[in-house]
Chain A
């Protein structure tokens, strides 16, 4: 297992390298000159020329890439073209907010998903199952930006229960932080909650059809014990894959939600940076996002082996 993990970690290096090349090429292919964008309505060609030279943007693209890579390997990811903030500082500053939002959303989607999904499977075709199915379809169909605005209208404007956006630091003002967290976390969780509920339901139903479950039933075990001891662990394998992907997708998932609620996380930084063609920041965020995907898929693969002893990553036995 140790050798497998090491191999997977080493493989991340070329993948990350490829990602940086692709992102660099893509963002430079998209139209728009960052300096012209930042100049906004006050475009002075002389000032733009000075800044272009200062930031090295007058160099050929391959040279710009090599310079960036050289600095990046030394841990210097440069400064934001837009705000002049060191990129590492800009990203690190925003990780806690995104992480908190992502984890809260994941908690909601997994915990509720497990309960509702299991009940739906156990009480198949019952009114509860039908209700859960309806909710699933609605959850997947509702885009984040729409759901966000509806929640603001209902819970902020009509009921005045939660603030319509903004952030308060978790450790400085914990209660205020939770008040601000509820709506964005629910918005972000809804789509994945629907997927998780559906996945758990169908996975459990598959497992219920297996011989060993029939054997357990024949032995006279109660339905609760069958689900908890026998069916659930096997049913969780595909669910873990999906949840793993959701963890890896926290940054992308948060993009729209953070924008709606002015949540100061990576997603909002990504949107602002892409709109401003802030090359160094976009490059770093995409790299971070790719690495988080790679890490979570590795963790998921390791979890498989734990959940199902038949899965082994050692050498094939002869």
Chain B
């Protein structure tokens, strides 16, 4: 399916993730062809995407929102990317060598890449971009690149990252925004960095160029005729233009697809999925995503969930299958921790709370010696969230656990979570990351930024340090699974309910690429149906 580029073998993947130090990888790969039909794909055409919200920032340095990434993947190239199974593949970097002490990574770069503004991409571009992400005050990417001590240009197509200490998730971080390259010339042509957020026109090197952005109305992406990617011998991309329209209402988004006013959406409500599947003008694809759903107990001193047994009792009493069926309309999969089915460290046999166990939960609470009554904070004005909370409430009642639902404004809940002062338990999700480290480390490691439950367990910290320090996949897998057993079962940090779904709803007028677990549409592989 890919001409100059081919799918990585398992051995190559191990190399790519650094399992074999200082060994070269395969050439860059734009990814899978649309449903394996390269060769008869049609060129030209315009598609309209109904996106759940408007893009907040066009600068990857500042981006904090998932929606931003839907555009970034079209206009910016990263050093590496992932294929539809979540495996890291070459992109702007054709290969990378990890030093034997694992404290440096040397990337070999493509030599045929120019930014949309005509400047050439080379090792200097990588150095400038990575240093900008690390050194700019208030950079959202600084944390993802915290392990990088320096970036040195070896020659125009070779760049060396020196690390402060071995850090295996680095490559996975470079897949996304921390590895995205923008044109220095385009950035410096705009006097204020604040304006670049909205006017990053022709600043990337990706398959499409940002040519127009009208806030809250539409974004126009036009084909980059000089993009380097190919698919089965076909030069990519196929489409001429993508129009992105932010439509916040899920109902209206779905209606736009049904009326043919939009051709692509990657987020529709669970209640609409059966209609989407039965509509003859639409094509619906779904696969488990990296995103997880969880209840966050406040485990700080003085709160009811300081006692791990209370958290575990809640986890035991919940019927996740029922929640999935009745609360999420079967969208997603049941799960128990942070490691999603598409993560390399996923253990399908890890099912600690497969059946709801009200009797076991009751016994645990008896051990604690005090009836369990607590508040669950949910965002007001969210009927689906309320329905889920009510289901959980009914399930817990069977274990004599009293859960009161407290609706607060979403902004207030975030405030309380940030301050670690929220009462009892909050309901929240995470959009998911390619490497299980991105789903785990900052959420359960002592005092990390997303550890809203104030969780701290020395063994979990130890195992997570281990998985970061080695690039050996099986060693990382062992460390992840050892940590997961503790933060899910022995000393639970949260009550995990399952994983979300990556969706791709397209009109039959377009030939859709496969759906990726990161939920981002690969427009470079999309074409009009012939």
Chain A residues within CB distance 8 Å of chain B: 30-33, 36-45, 47, 50-51, 54, 79, 82-85, 90, 93-94, 97, 149, 152-153, 156-157, 160, 163-167, 259-262, 264, 268-269, 272, 275, 277
> Is B450 touching A43 in the complex (CB atoms < 8 A)?
yes
Q: Point out the residues of chain B lying under 8 angstroms from A51, CB to CB.
A: 138
Q: Point out the residues of chain B lying under 8 angstroms from A39, CB to CB.
A: 64
> Is B142 touching A164 in the complex (CB atoms < 8 A)?
no
CA distance A259 to B251 in the complex (A): 12
Q: Point out the residues of chain A lying under 8 angstroms from B64, CB to CB.
A: 38-42
CA distance A166 to B243 in the complex (A): 12
CA distance A241 to B83 in the complex (A): 64
Query: In whole Å, how far is A262's beta carbon from the nearest beta carbon of chain B?
Result: 5
CA distance A314 to B287 in the complex (A): 75
| B482 close to A (CB within 8 Å) | no
The contact of A45 among B198, B247, B259, B449, by CB within 8 Å, is B449
Query: In whole Å, how far is A226's beta carbon from the nearest beta carbon of chain B?
Result: 48
> Is A37 touching B411 in the complex (CB atoms < 8 A)?
yes
Known A84-B197, A165-B247; contact A277-B252, beta-carbon cutoff 8 A: no
Known A42-B140, A163-B261; contact A269-B194, beta-carbon cutoff 8 A: no
> Is A31 touching B245 in the complex (CB atoms < 8 A)?
no
> Is B138 touching A84 in the complex (CB atoms < 8 A)?
no
The contact of A31 among B140, B142, B411, B430, by CB within 8 Å, is B411
CA distance A54 to B136 in the complex (A): 13
> Is A79 touching B245 in the complex (CB atoms < 8 A)?
no
> Is B414 touching A36 in the complex (CB atoms < 8 A)?
yes
| B125 close to A (CB within 8 Å) | no
> Is B259 touching A262 in the complex (CB atoms < 8 A)?
no
Query: In whole Å, how far is A305's beta carbon from the nearest beta carbon of chain B?
Result: 41
| B214 close to A (CB within 8 Å) | yes
| B459 close to A (CB within 8 Å) | no
Q: Point out the residues of chain A lying under 8 angstroms from B57, CB to CB.
A: 83-84
Q: Point out the residues of chain B lying under 8 angstroms from A83, CB to CB.
A: 56-57, 197-198, 215
Q: Point out the residues of chain A lying under 8 angstroms from B138, CB to CB.
A: 47, 50-51, 54
| B217 close to A (CB within 8 Å) | yes
- Not counting A90-B215, A264-B216, a sample of 7 additional A-B residue pairs whose C-beta atoms are within 8 angstroms of each other reads A31-B415, A33-B414, A47-B143, A83-B198, A163-B256, A259-B249, A264-B215
> Is B252 touching A260 in the complex (CB atoms < 8 A)?
yes
> Is A167 touching B217 in the complex (CB atoms < 8 A)?
yes
CA distance A84 to B429 in the complex (A): 27
> Is A160 touching B415 in the complex (CB atoms < 8 A)?
no
Query: In whole Å, how far is A285's beta carbon from the nearest beta carbon of chain B?
Result: 13
Mark out the residues of chain B between 2 and 45 whose CB falls within 8 Å of any chain A CB in the assembled complex: none
| B246 close to A (CB within 8 Å) | yes
Query: In whole Å, how far is A85's beta carbon from the nearest beta carbon of chain B?
Result: 6
CA distance A278 to B195 in the complex (A): 17
For B258, give the chain A residue with the smallest CB separation.
A157
For A271, give the chain B residue with the smallest CB separation.
B248
> Is B198 touching A85 in the complex (CB atoms < 8 A)?
yes
Query: In whole Å, how far is A78's beta carbon from the nearest beta carbon of chain B?
Result: 11
Query: In whole Å, how far is B196's beta carbon from the nearest beta carbon of chain A?
Result: 9
Query: In whole Å, how far is B269's beta carbon from the nearest beta carbon of chain A?
Result: 14
> Is B430 touching A41 in the complex (CB atoms < 8 A)?
yes
> Is B194 touching A164 in the complex (CB atoms < 8 A)?
no
Known A43-B449, A47-B139, A262-B248; contact A166-B194, beta-carbon cutoff 8 A: no
CA distance A83 to B199 in the complex (A): 11
Q: Point out the residues of chain A lying under 8 angstroms from B137, CB to CB.
A: 50, 54
Q: What are 30 A-B pairs at a CB distance below 8 A?
A: A31-B412, A33-B411, A33-B415, A36-B414, A36-B418, A37-B410, A37-B414, A41-B64, A41-B431, A43-B414, A44-B143, A44-B449, A47-B138, A47-B139, A50-B138, A54-B138, A152-B252, A157-B259, A163-B256, A163-B259, A164-B256, A165-B252, A165-B256, A166-B218, A166-B261, A167-B217, A262-B245, A264-B215, A269-B216, A275-B411
CA distance A164 to B415 in the complex (A): 36
CA distance A6 to B361 in the complex (A): 75
Query: In whole Å, how far is A62's beta carbon from the nearest beta carbon of chain B?
Result: 22
> Is A264 touching B214 in the complex (CB atoms < 8 A)?
yes
Query: In whole Å, how far is B521's beta carbon from the nearest beta carbon of chain A?
Result: 19
Q: Point out the residues of chain A lying under 8 angstroms from B490, CB to CB.
A: none
Query: In whole Å, how far is B283's beta carbon from the nearest beta carbon of chain A?
Result: 19
Q: Point out the residues of chain A lying under 8 angstroms from B415, CB to CB.
A: 31-33, 36
> Is A259 touching B248 in the complex (CB atoms < 8 A)?
yes
| B409 close to A (CB within 8 Å) | yes
Query: In whole Å, how far is A133's beta carbon from the nearest beta carbon of chain B?
Result: 32
Known A83-B56, A83-B197; contact A164-B255, beta-carbon cutoff 8 A: yes
| B149 close to A (CB within 8 Å) | no
Q: Point out the residues of chain A lying under 8 angstroms from B65, CB to CB.
A: 40
Query: In whole Å, how far is A45's beta carbon from the nearest beta carbon of chain B?
Result: 6
For A152, give the chain B residue with the smallest CB separation.
B255
Query: In whole Å, how far is B406's beta carbon from the nearest beta carbon of chain A?
Result: 13
Mark out the residues of chain B between 400 and 437 whose CB falls within 8 Å of any chain A CB in the assembled complex: 408-412, 414-415, 418, 428-431
Mark out the residues of chain B between 194 and 245 whose CB falls within 8 Å of any chain A CB in the assembled complex: 194-195, 197-198, 214-218, 245
For B257, give the chain A residue with the smallest CB separation.
A164
> Is A31 touching B409 in the complex (CB atoms < 8 A)?
yes
> Is B217 touching A32 in the complex (CB atoms < 8 A)?
no
CA distance A38 to B197 in the complex (A): 14
> Is B249 touching A264 in the complex (CB atoms < 8 A)?
no
> Is A262 touching B247 in the complex (CB atoms < 8 A)?
yes
* 6 closest Cβ pairs, A-B complex: A32-B411, A264-B217, A31-B412, A50-B138, A84-B194, A264-B216
Mark out the residues of chain B between 53 and 99 whose CB falls within 8 Å of any chain A CB in the assembled complex: 56-57, 64-66
Query: In whole Å, how far is A184's beta carbon from the nearest beta carbon of chain B?
Result: 12
CA distance A47 to B66 in the complex (A): 18
CA distance A89 to B19 in the complex (A): 51
CA distance A311 to B431 in the complex (A): 64
> Is A94 touching B216 in the complex (CB atoms < 8 A)?
yes
Q: Point out the residues of chain A lying under 8 angstroms from B412, CB to CB.
A: 31-32
Q: Point out the residues of chain A lying under 8 angstroms from B66, CB to CB.
A: 40-41
CA distance A45 to B449 in the complex (A): 7
CA distance A149 to B254 in the complex (A): 12
Q: Point out the residues of chain B lying under 8 angstroms from A90, CB to CB.
A: 215
Q: Point out the residues of chain B lying under 8 angstroms from A163, CB to CB.
A: 256, 259, 261
For A268, give the chain B residue with the smallest CB separation.
B216
Question: Contact string, B112-152, partner A, CB cutoff 8 A, digits 1/0?
Answer: 00000000000000000000000001111011000000000
Known A85-B215, A268-B216; contact A38-B56, beta-carbon cutoff 8 A: yes
Q: Point out the residues of chain B lying under 8 angstroms from A261, CB to CB.
A: 252
The interface centre, meaning the residue of B137, B249, B430 with most chain A CB atoms within 10 A of its CB, is B249
Q: Point out the residues of chain B lying under 8 angstroms from A264, CB to CB.
A: 214-217
For B195, give the chain A residue with the smallest CB separation.
A84
The contact of A149 among B194, B214, B218, B251, by CB within 8 Å, is B251
The contact of B215 among A47, A50, A54, A93, by CB within 8 Å, is A93
> Is B216 touching A164 in the complex (CB atoms < 8 A)?
no
Q: Point out the residues of chain B lying under 8 angstroms from A272, CB to CB.
A: 216
Query: In whole Å, how far is A307's beta carbon from the nearest beta carbon of chain B?
Result: 39
CA distance A117 to B215 in the complex (A): 40
CA distance A275 to B380 in the complex (A): 12
CA distance A277 to B142 in the complex (A): 26
Q: Point out the residues of chain A lying under 8 angstroms from B194, CB to CB.
A: 79, 84
